Chain A
């Protein structure tokens, strides 16, 4: 539901949200046990330190990981990535699609013992849209016309027009009104000492070292078997990998090389279970559509034809991923498996370029109007996969007569000096895939301004209409048909060359049992993970 920071994008390997592709590989668990035993700790590592444990005020992935354990939303995505009630027992969308009525779960307690009611929901909404709150998440809630707590267990929210992403937006963590109301949220002690309703209770945060969460004995779904969840801050990924091997942490996301080559020893496989499922992200080559060169659709199609995506998946991800055709995750409901996109076909690439009146020059580079066909692919520093990817593309395009240069830039200057000012030709970047398929922010023509996310400048009236239609109805079938049509437009127009969806590759200590790999990854049933008494470590 929430897009993480771009930094988090680079750390894809750590992402644990995922989706279907057959059964994830699961090794037989070595330690046999009887009924689930309580106790033991799960120790994980994080590259970054959380910034603020009031989720409204932070946007980094470490903070949202912890918030996910401590807080609940009204709704959440279940293991199959379908919306289900969380703090809301049920909800009802009115016939005209203009209001949603949530029936809240009675008897849910905050970690300090106070009762959770609709007052908390109303407060969370109000503080989110309060202009004084420095939050990045108010946008979805600005569409709300009226929010009311009808009684302690009923909450209704009304919109001016039907807004489908609204439902998922109520998955945002609900904050305790009794501790925050009437106070300045930016100065609240809760930012370092959160009180939520979730399966784990905040215990301790030692800056730069660790965050410790204890099992919540009163959790509404039942107390987690694990006694503790410890989040160690280990800023270097090679250190983290060594900690994993030495037993200092129990779980981490592996890189393709680590997964394929470095953990294939018997010793490792005896001590760890490895999992594999598609991550919620994709990489793409984006063309600056304001430049005359890339305004010609045939040129973009030709570039896609000249790129062998399968080779990139093999070369960059060692096969730990799959090729992408569009902006959705394979296997999710909005994803269209078969689209009419240009596949790898160098001959067709040559034909398309010829059609676009490029002729082969003497040095093997195509020429049009006396100018050689040459451009620069820009990508951000610190992401080795993207650099390798750019190099493979460079070689492939050379073969059809396109001269490609590669430029790697520090993230901040990349954004401010190049992306925001439209001073780029082609970029190689990635997006996180949100669970709601709405594409307004990245693809609508109204979002092409400076600092907006349709920075390639894609404008297509048909696309605009479909995006607006798709977010304007709650009818899943209608939405699906919109998104299917959108994927066909993207396949035809190729404003991006969609490259690949990498796999998330977590390894978890073999002493943990009850892990149930699902489309949503492995963390969805954390409260059911358990360790047999004999194998407990902490």
Chain B
């Protein structure tokens, strides 16, 4: 087991370097440079000022040198400074945006798993009934409706027409002066729509997955045995079947780890939530190489770690895998 773990961890490094090399190439292949994005079509910028800006950002050096420099900084956990005019350290820009994205995604993830799993079980147990079909229609509706459209409709209905909920942002103006509890309530009101809509949109995948694994388990012999020996239906489903049906979900949980820091651009833009999605999008549009690379590296690390964790958890939860390997 320990040897397996060490091997897996060592494998991460070449993978990571490969990922950075590919992303570095791809982002440099995109037309336009950070300097261009800032000064293009601006009459007051001469060739010298352009050259000066390029030199300032180190864009005058050959690509492999730029990559080498970037990698050597990364090895010291330095993501460099942003190529945006603010020239701030990339780490600062990411750090100030992570909390909101992370909390939103964690809440949405908990809701998603908390709702999708029972829904999936319900659908599996009542297979092919009206309830099952109703659930299918409901979750696929959430899956099929463009979330930005639904978001705009909800904002108009709950925000403008009924004035029940705030429209965008995460705090009301002047909420700084409120007591802690009221502040929390204010924020909860702001986050209600984004979280609710995001969850609604993501129910389909997980609940259908849950439904099918549950059905598979329910058709197995040991379930028939349990039923035959007179175990109550509740116990059959929740004790015997559910445990095994939940196993593959662990993998899904592992996969959703990188998603936790990646926000949705459309969502964050519509709801004016200052999260990672917006930051990344702006970074790409401005060809802010260090920022884009920084976010991608973090995302890649989390993906790799998430996969590793999922595998480990799986081995931990399923004796067949654990013993089969060792």
A, B bound = yes
Name A's B-contacting residues (CB within 8 A).
Answer: 2-3, 5-6, 9, 41, 43, 49, 51-52, 57-60, 63, 131, 134-140, 142, 186-187, 191-192, 206-210, 230, 232-236, 238-239, 242-243, 245-246, 248, 411-413, 415-417, 434, 441-442, 449, 451, 453, 538
Check B174 for interface membership: any CB of A closer than 8 A.
yes
**Once the chains are docked, how many angstroms separate the CA of A206 from the CA of B100?**
13
Check B274 for interface membership: any CB of A closer than 8 A.
yes
Judge whether B87 and A139 touch: CB under 8 Å: no
**Once the chains are docked, how many angstroms separate the CA of A51 from the CA of B39?**
14
Which residues of B lie under 8 Å from residue A52 when comparing CB positions?
Answer: 84-87
Judge whether B287 and A412 touch: CB under 8 Å: yes
Q: How far is the CB of B58 from chain A (nearest CB, A)?
A: 12
Judge whether B44 and A441 touch: CB under 8 Å: yes
Judge whether A134 and B45 touch: CB under 8 Å: no
- Per CB-CB distance, the 10 closest pairs between chain A and chain B, nearest first, are A208-B274, A412-B32, A441-B43, A413-B31, A416-B31, A134-B56, A52-B85, A51-B85, A58-B85, A235-B269
Q: How far is the CB of B27 from chain A (nearest CB, A)?
A: 12
**Once the chains are docked, how many angstroms separate the CA of A60 from the CA of B57?**
18
Judge whether A242 and B156 touch: CB under 8 Å: yes
Check B60 for interface membership: any CB of A closer than 8 A.
no
Check B26 for interface membership: any CB of A closer than 8 A.
no
Q: How far is the CB of B71 from chain A (nearest CB, A)?
A: 24
Judge whether B41 and A415 touch: CB under 8 Å: yes
Check B53 for interface membership: any CB of A closer than 8 A.
yes
Check B147 for interface membership: any CB of A closer than 8 A.
no
Q: How far is the CB of B257 from chain A (nearest CB, A)?
A: 24
Judge whether A248 and B30 touch: CB under 8 Å: no
Q: How far is the CB of A290 from chain B (nearest CB, A)?
A: 19
**Which has the most chain B C-beta neighbours within 10 Å: A49, A207, A239, A417?**
A239
Check B47 for interface membership: any CB of A closer than 8 A.
yes
Given A136-B49, A246-B159: A415 touches B32 (CB 8 Å cut-off): yes
Number of A-B contacts (CB under 8 A): 157
For B15-58 the 0/1 string (1 means CB < 8 A from A) is 00000000000000011100011111111111111101100110
Identity of the chain B residue whose Cβ is nearest the Cβ of A453 in the assembled complex: B43
Judge whether B32 and A413 touch: CB under 8 Å: yes
Judge whether B278 and A235 touch: CB under 8 Å: yes
Which residues of B lie under 8 Å from residue A233 when comparing CB positions?
Answer: 272, 274
The size of the chain B interface, using a CB distance under 8 A, is: 57
Which residues of A lie under 8 Å from residue B85 when comparing CB positions?
Answer: 51-52, 57-60, 63
Which residues of A lie under 8 Å from residue B50 when comparing CB positions?
Answer: 451
Judge whether B43 and A415 touch: CB under 8 Å: no
Which residues of B lie under 8 Å from residue A238 when comparing CB positions?
Answer: 152, 270
Judge whether A209 and B169 touch: CB under 8 Å: yes
For B44, give its contact among A57, A139, A242 (CB under 8 Å): A139
Check B166 for interface membership: any CB of A closer than 8 A.
yes
Q: How far is the CB of A241 from chain B (nearest CB, A)?
A: 9
Which residues of A lie under 8 Å from residue B272 when comparing CB positions?
Answer: 208-209, 232-236, 239
Judge whether B86 and A136 touch: CB under 8 Å: no
Which residues of B lie under 8 Å from residue A243 when comparing CB positions?
Answer: 167-168
For A416, give its contact among B32, B84, B96 (CB under 8 Å): B32
Identity of the chain A residue whose Cβ is nearest the Cβ of B100 in the assembled complex: A208
For A135, give its contact among B49, B57, B93, B285 (CB under 8 Å): B49
For A208, give its contact among B84, B156, B278 (CB under 8 Å): B278
Q: How far is the CB of B47 from chain A (nearest CB, A)?
A: 7
Which residues of B lie under 8 Å from residue A3 when comparing CB positions?
Answer: 41-44
Judge whether A246 and B31 touch: CB under 8 Å: no
Judge whether B274 and A417 touch: CB under 8 Å: no
Check B2 for interface membership: any CB of A closer than 8 A.
no
Judge whether A136 and B44 touch: CB under 8 Å: yes
Judge whether B97 and A208 touch: CB under 8 Å: yes
Given A43-B173, A51-B85, A134-B53: A415 touches B40 (CB 8 Å cut-off): yes
Which residues of A lie under 8 Å from residue B93 when comparing CB positions?
Answer: 207
**Once the chains are docked, how many angstroms separate the CA of A442 from the CA of B271?**
39
Which residues of B lie under 8 Å from residue A41 when comparing CB positions?
Answer: 173
**Once the chains are docked, how many angstroms separate the CA of A528 from the CA of B166?**
30
Q: How far is the CB of A281 from chain B (nearest CB, A)?
A: 12
Q: How far is the CB of B302 from chain A (nearest CB, A)?
A: 21
**Once the chains are docked, how many angstroms separate the CA of A43 from the CA of B169?**
14
Which residues of A lie under 8 Å from residue B168 when comparing CB positions?
Answer: 234, 236, 239, 242-243, 248
Check B163 for interface membership: any CB of A closer than 8 A.
yes
Identity of the chain B residue whose Cβ is nearest the Cβ of A449 in the assembled complex: B47
**Once the chains are docked, how many angstroms separate the CA of A5 from the CA of B36?**
11
Judge whether A59 and B38 touch: CB under 8 Å: yes
Given A236-B270, A243-B168: A59 touches B39 (CB 8 Å cut-off): yes
Given A242-B155, A415-B32: A192 touches B86 (CB 8 Å cut-off): yes
Check B189 for interface membership: any CB of A closer than 8 A.
no
Judge whether B270 and A239 touch: CB under 8 Å: yes
Judge whether A207 and B173 touch: CB under 8 Å: no
Judge whether B31 and A412 touch: CB under 8 Å: yes
Q: How far is the CB of A459 from chain B (nearest CB, A)?
A: 18
Judge whether B31 and A417 touch: CB under 8 Å: yes
Judge whether B31 and A134 touch: CB under 8 Å: no
For A451, give its contact among B47, B170, B268, B269 (CB under 8 Å): B47
Q: How far is the CB of A44 from chain B (nearest CB, A)?
A: 12
Given A248-B166, A248-B167, A415-B32: A538 touches B174 (CB 8 Å cut-off): yes
Which residues of B lie under 8 Å from residue A246 when comparing CB positions?
Answer: 159-160, 163, 167
Check B240 for interface membership: any CB of A closer than 8 A.
no
Which residues of B lie under 8 Å from residue A206 when comparing CB positions?
Answer: 274
Which residues of A lie under 8 Å from residue B287 when comparing CB positions?
Answer: 412
Check B183 for interface membership: any CB of A closer than 8 A.
no
For B235-274 the 0/1 string (1 means CB < 8 A from A) is 0000000000000000000000000000000001111111
Given A51-B86, A139-B46, A246-B163: A134 touches B52 (CB 8 Å cut-off): yes
**Once the chains are docked, how many angstroms separate the CA of A60 from the CA of B159?**
30
Which residues of A lie under 8 Å from residue B171 when comparing CB positions?
Answer: 209
Q: How far is the CB of A246 from chain B (nearest CB, A)?
A: 5
Which residues of B lie under 8 Å from residue A131 when comparing CB positions?
Answer: 52
Identity of the chain A residue whose Cβ is nearest the Cβ of B37 in the assembled complex: A412
Which residues of A lie under 8 Å from residue B57 when comparing CB positions?
Answer: 134
Judge whether B96 and A245 touch: CB under 8 Å: no
